[in-house]
Structure 1
Amino acid sequence: MNTYPRLLAIVLLLSNVTTAFAASFVEITVTGRLTPDACHVELSDEGMVDYGKIPAHTLNPNEFTMLPSRLLELSVQCSRPMLFALVGVDNRAESSLGPSVYSLGRNIHVPAERLGSVALSYRNPLGDALSMQALASSDNGETWAPAPNAPPRSYVGFAPPGDRQPDFIGQLSAQLQIDTAINFAQYLTLNQEVPLDGSIVLDLRYL
């Protein structure tokens, strides 16, 4: 007659033991992200070059009109010394006047008219506070040669003078020179205000 009460007492005891064990530990969660080493690129003035209003009568009808050169301060900050190159990408390539220059876009009133060109070049580069030279590659980094100019799709790396391969750099500073030319005025319809529309991306690529 007492078998059942004993069994019940044992079950209750085991239940209490289980509850005690459940309360005797806590869970630890460890989170985070492993991120690759990377470089950050900045340009002064947020990369904006504004020539303001350019009167049509000041443009040369029979040759390109060169606008004053402008300089932007370029800075590359890397988490550690790394091999990299900068590649210019022309967002208006369909209206370019040649393979070695970037485009100023088209006349919004007469889309067949191409407005002009932009040339980029690197001046006075410093890598980790040491004087550098710009090296250019037209074959995606296979071969390099000293050259300050940075035409579209060309790789530009940096190295100490005399070297022929880009060097590992942690901090780079340089001046990016922008040379802008307006197309022959005789090829442009200028009876309305026409905005210049150059758009270039500097793409940092790891080597």
Structure 2
Amino acid sequence: MKKIIGLTLGIACLAATLSAQATTSAQLVVRGTITPAACNLSLAGSGIIDYGTIRSGELSRTSFNPREERTTSLVINCGATPARFGLTLTDLQAGSKVTGILGAGFSEAQNFGLGMVGGRRTGGYSVTLRDLRSSATVLHPIMRTGLGAWQNSDGKVAQSPSQYSWRNSVTITPASISQLTGTLAVKAVINRAQDLDLSRDVSIDGRATLVLSYI
């Protein structure tokens, strides 16, 4: 009997030892979420550039017809949190582009379409970034294509995948800022009158999407 009891006690002690070893480790989990700065992008007048009514008799039949430059204000506000960010513009009327309509000094990537009426292409327009500031600091436009190196820019905007940002020093890297103000200058060019269907109203219908992204 004593041997049996002794054996039973030995097993009980071994079980207690194993149980103690099973509770000598635990997992620590560290959780949280890091969110980007909450930035807001807005354009004055809902971003509408209105050329009003243009009489067909004003248009040259054989030459492109540049119109006056018009502007809208650009505002980006990130509150109190500085961030590095950039803009891309996507032409929603790219299929209506008129090749060469912007003239010298512009590439086709900087040519945004003005829509089509009756299968005829209405024209094109350019977009230029100007007067960029963060508080009292003057900013200078820079750009890159895709994930390429940043370069100085004259402000003329090419369509995505080109991306635009701004520097506040001689170093060509995006500045970390909390607010930005600037101007989008738009210049429309109407197609040759002989290439338009002037038997009906021809609407000017340029549309582009601006996307703010964090760098």
What band does the TM-score fall into relative to the shorter chain?
0.7 to 0.9
- Matched-pair contact (CA < 8 Å) for 1:102–1:118: yes
- Matched-pair contact (CA < 8 Å) for 2:36–2:214: no
CA distance in 1, matches of 2:154, 2:135: 20
- Scaled by the length of structure 1, the TM-score of the pair is 0.78
1:183 corresponding residue in structure 2: 191
- Scaled by the length of structure 2, the TM-score of the pair is 0.75
- Matched-pair contact (CA < 8 Å) for 1:131–1:161: no
CA distance in 2, matches of 1:204, 1:141: 18
Q: CA deviation at 1:34?
A: 7.5
- Matched-pair contact (CA < 8 Å) for 1:95–1:105: yes
CA distance in 2, matches of 1:104, 1:184: 13
Which of 129, 135, 153 lines up with 1:122 in the alignment? Answer: 129
Which of 150, 162, 170 lines up with 2:157 in the alignment? Answer: 150
What residue identity is the alignment partner of 2:128? S
Change (3 A) 1:148 1:162: same
CA distance in 1, matches of 2:195, 2:213: 38
What residue identity is the alignment partner of 2:129? Y
2:40 corresponding residue in structure 1: 40
Total equivalences in the alignment:
172
RMSD across aligned positions (CA): 1.7
2:96 corresponding residue in structure 1: 95
Unpaired segments ≥5 residues, structure 2: 1-32, 99-107
- Matched-pair contact (CA < 8 Å) for 1:114–1:183: yes
The question of 1:104 aligning with 2:111 is answered no
CA distance in 1, matches of 2:148, 2:84: 11
Unpaired segments ≥5 residues, structure 1: 1-32
Secondary structure, counterpart of 2:109 in structure 1: coil
CA distance in 2, matches of 1:42, 1:169: 16
Larger displacement relative to structure 2 (189-198 or 160-169):
160-169
CA distance in 2, matches of 1:58, 1:189: 15
Change (3 A) 1:164 1:52: same
1:13 corresponding residue in structure 2: none
CA distance in 1, matches of 2:91, 2:115: 10
